[in-house]
Amino acid sequence: MRLAFVAVVVLAGCAGSPRGTPEAARAPPIKLGQEFTLPKGGEAKVEGTHFTLIFDGVPEDSRCAEGTTCVWEGNARISLTVRDLHDERMELNTSARFAQKLDFEGYVIELRSLEPVRSASAQSPPYAATLLVSPK
């Protein structure tokens, strides 16, 4: 009996969220046409659709750092996974010179902003992307 109890406790402790996403990184379902902020590593189910957005990371951030002077605005590029029947990766940008929005199965996914702005001293800030999902 005691062994069965220990086994249940151990198995319950090993059970995690699907695909290893921490519970704290999940946002509540988001509404179509309403901006929302997603932290790096977070995911959000899009209400009324069959997909979930996951903010994977920031592979590029060449934006002008706070407190510095730059000759051009720079760009931050974020990577997202759209989880549907299969996972689809996409990248969106902060600079209007690159893709800031993309179509996905009748919806438009748009990056509105990325915070924080790079700091000259910080290595990897705790990024959060403001996104908008709208019907096409």
What does the pLDDT read at residue 26? 53
* Dist. CA 36–CA 132, nearest whole Å: 7
Q: What is the pLDDT of residues 75-97, one digit of tens each?
A: 999 999 999 988 999 999 999 99
What does the pLDDT read at residue 12? 45
Residues listed for the chain: 136
How many helices and strands, by DSSP H and E, does the chain display?
1, 8
Q: Of 7 and 82, which is predicted with more confidence?
A: 82
* Dist. CA 53–CA 34, nearest whole Å: 14
Q: What is the pLDDT of residues 18-72, one digit of tens each?
A: 444 444 445 568 999 999 999 999 999 999 999 999 999 999 999 988 778 888 8
- Structural domain boundaries of the chain? 21-135
pTM, 2 dp: 0.76
What does the pLDDT read at residue 122? 59
Phi, psi of 9 (to 5 degrees): -65, -45
| Phi-psi category of residue 127: left, alpha or beta, with phi > 0 → left and psi -120 to 50 → alpha | beta
Contact 61, 118 (CB under 8 A): yes
